[in-house]
Structure 1
Amino acid sequence: MSDASFSDDAPASDAARAAGTLGTDALEAGTIYRLFSGAIAPRPIAWVATVDAEGRANLAPFSFFNVASVNPPVLAFSPLLNGEGKAKDTLHNLDEVGECVIHVGSEALAEALNATSASLPRGEDEFDHAGLTKAPMGELRVPRIAESPIAFGCRLREVIRFGDSPLAGNLVLAEVVAVHAAPEVWDGRHVDIETLRPVGRMAGSDYSRTTDLFALERPK
């Protein structure tokens, strides 16, 4: 499961919202989650494969995701603890086997991506659940999604944990050690965005497409 799971809480009071500026100590965690997920959007989606110590695969999407460094190449994503303060299988697997494969969520695979956000019992295989095929990823123990045109094979550098309260984040810093890129998507220099067609996460059940783009020249 990728998105936070929590019981509903009371929204900020009308008087507090009318004031415009609020201290976060006046807001419930669920309220902050909805504010972040609604305002900080669209967010790229990391579709993360891991394995546990027994080699059982897990696959889950995370929309708190971005590039942390280029040299060395490091990607960052942050699984939240659930509404009971429990960690997701991805974190448990990274503690056991410090490897992962990060895929970019794409429009062609959006239904399968959404299927892997289901709360399956630990040890059940989301690849099978979503009808996806495993493929080897270099020397890593973790498989990649064969149907995904881009995959980044990573070794864990660090997990920065922000506590054990419900919805606390766990910032995973994963160093890319191998790349799989289909030639129709990447020519060695440029990514064909029309072929990749990545999707972004909005609030609730909403996603966004990258079909309405505009360009601005960067100032010198």
Structure 2
Amino acid sequence: MFLDLTQSLEKPNIYSQLVGGITPRPIAWISTLSSDGVANIAPYSFFTVASVNPPVLSVTQVNPGEKRNKDTLNNLLASKECVVNIVSEQQVEQMNQSCANYSSEVSEFDAAHIESTASRLVKPISVKASKVRYECSLREVITISEQSAGGQMMLLNVVGVYIDDAVLVDGYIDPVALKSVGKLGGDEFTKTTDMFSLKRPTL
């Protein structure tokens, strides 16, 4: 099968072919604060490191059909701050519950019974059980398309990093201890428990 994207193709089909093949994807569980003081949290799997010097994360919103922005992006534009909480196996059920279509007046922290803790450098609260958390300020939003299913890339300056001592080995984050999860296509997720090592070749 070959899909010629220069020809017309329904958005759901394009979406499934993108998310089904580009796997596994890390999950940014982003907590923000609305202008009315409502603590919001939602997961995003279009997520990666954009730069190390300076430290910048990249998270992309795929625009929903019924409105331009999700609560996360609206809150981020208003407050300029967020926390990217890394999802480990024990948070999977709460993370999944937090992506339900709650109204902007409802805090997913309350609805999904997510225990929070104060952040160090930003106002949005953090997920207490998350073993790695990146406190961020908004650097820039790059609008690729304002259409339904179009993309808006959020570039986030990392201003602080919380790492639970339990996942540190010789000063580095141990993936075995972190037990992060990744997103596949459809409703599927993956664990990071089946690992192997390859030394980088030298020439």
CA–CA separation in structure 2 for the residues paired with 1:75 and 1:116: 21
In the TM superposition, 1:151-190 aligns within 5 A as 151-187=133-169, 189-190=171-172
Match of 1:215 in 2: 197
Match of 2:127 in 1: 145
Q: C-alpha offsets along residues 41-88 of structure 1, whole Å, 9 cap, x if unaligned?
A: 110000000011122110000000001111111111101111235310
How many residues of Structure 1 are paired with residues of Structure 2 in the alignment? 202
Match of 2:187 in 1: 205
- When residues 30 and 135 of structure 1 are mapped into structure 2, their CA distance, relative to the original with a 3 A threshold, is same
CA–CA separation in structure 2 for the residues paired with 1:65 and 1:48: 11
Q: Give structure 2 stretches of 5+ with no counterpart.
A: none
1:98 to 80, 92, 97: 80
CA RMSD of aligned residues (A): 1.3
Fraction of identical pairs, as percent: 38
Question: Comparing both structures, which one devotes a greater share of its residues to strand?
Answer: 2
Query: Is contact 1:144-1:151 (8 Å) kept?
Result: yes
User: How far did 1:187 drift?
Assistant: 4.4
Q: Give structure 1 stretches of 5+ with no counterpart.
A: 1-16
Equivalent residue of 1:184, what SS? helix
Deviates more, 1:113-122 or 1:137-146: 137-146
In the TM superposition, 1:1-220 aligns within 5 A as 17=1, 20-187=2-169, 189-220=171-202
Deviates more, 1:155-164 or 1:57-66: 155-164
- When residues 178 and 23 of structure 1 are mapped into structure 2, their CA distance, relative to the original with a 3 A threshold, is same
Deviates more, 1:110-119 or 1:160-169: 160-169
CA–CA separation in structure 2 for the residues paired with 1:170 and 1:147: 29
Q: C-alpha offsets along residues 163-211 of structure 1, whole Å, 9 cap, x if unaligned?
A: 2211111100001101111100124621121221000001111000111
Q: C-alpha offsets along residues 94-116 of structure 1, whole Å, 9 cap, x if unaligned?
A: 11100010011211110011010
**TM-score of the superposed pair, with normalisation by structure 1:** 0.88
Greater than 4 Å deviation, 4+ residue runs: none
CA–CA separation in structure 2 for the residues paired with 1:107 and 1:24: 40
Equivalent residue of 2:141, what SS? strand
**TM-score of the superposed pair, with normalisation by structure 2:** 0.95
- When residues 96 and 23 of structure 1 are mapped into structure 2, their CA distance, relative to the original with a 3 A threshold, is same
AA in 1 matched with 2:105: G
CA–CA separation in structure 2 for the residues paired with 1:134 and 1:46: 16
CA–CA separation in structure 1 for the residues paired with 2:7 and 2:67: 19
Query: Is contact 2:41-2:98 (8 Å) kept?
Result: yes
